[in-house]
Amino acid sequence: QKEVEQDPGPLSVPEGAIVSLNCTYSNSAFQYFMWYRQYSRKGPELLMYTYSSGNKEDGRFTAQVDKSSKYISLFIRDSQPSDSATYLCAMSRNQFYFGTGTSLTVIP
């Protein structure tokens, strides 16, 4: 079983839609949770970084962590074509573990 599971998609939504991206994990020792955005032919860019269970909001982005269910989510409100990218979840305990990434396309 992989440490981190993420649906690879692809996910296609119309502009303005709310996007929900999710990851599950198996190890309850994970303490820190991150979301990265990766554009084609670029490195991952840190979007959100959280420690505890609950919600963290930054502009149109909301990260949600549910440690009891071992489940994390990223919500994107009012999605824009510029949000089209691959979204990677990551979590850490001593080292960082990444999901496989979800490919998102926002259609104008």
Partner 1 sequence: DAGVTQSPTHLIKTRGQHVTLRCSPISGHKSVSWYQQVLGQGPQFIFQYYEKEERGRGNFPDRFSARQFPNYSSELNVNALLLGDSALYLCASSSGTGSESPLHFGNGTRLTVT
- Which stretch, 12-20, 40-48, 52-60, 70-78, contacts partner 1 (CB under 8 A)? 40-48
Residues in the chain, overall count: 108
Please work out the total of residues on this chain that contact partner 1, with binding judged by CB under 8 A.
Answer: 27
* Identified binder of partner 1 from the candidate list 1, 68, 82, 95, rule CB under 8 A: 95
Per rule CB under 8 A, is residue 74 in the interface with partner 1? no
Sole binder of partner 1 in the list 12, 31, 53, 55 (CB under 8 A): 31
93 in contact with partner 1 (CB under 8 A): yes
Q: Taking Cα atoms as reference points, which of 30, 24, 23, 16 lies closest to residue 93?
A: 30
Cα dihedral 52/63/7/106 (nearest 10): -170
What residues line the site for partner 1 (CB under 8 A)? Answer: 4, 6, 8, 31-32, 34, 36, 41-46, 49, 51, 88, 90, 92-101
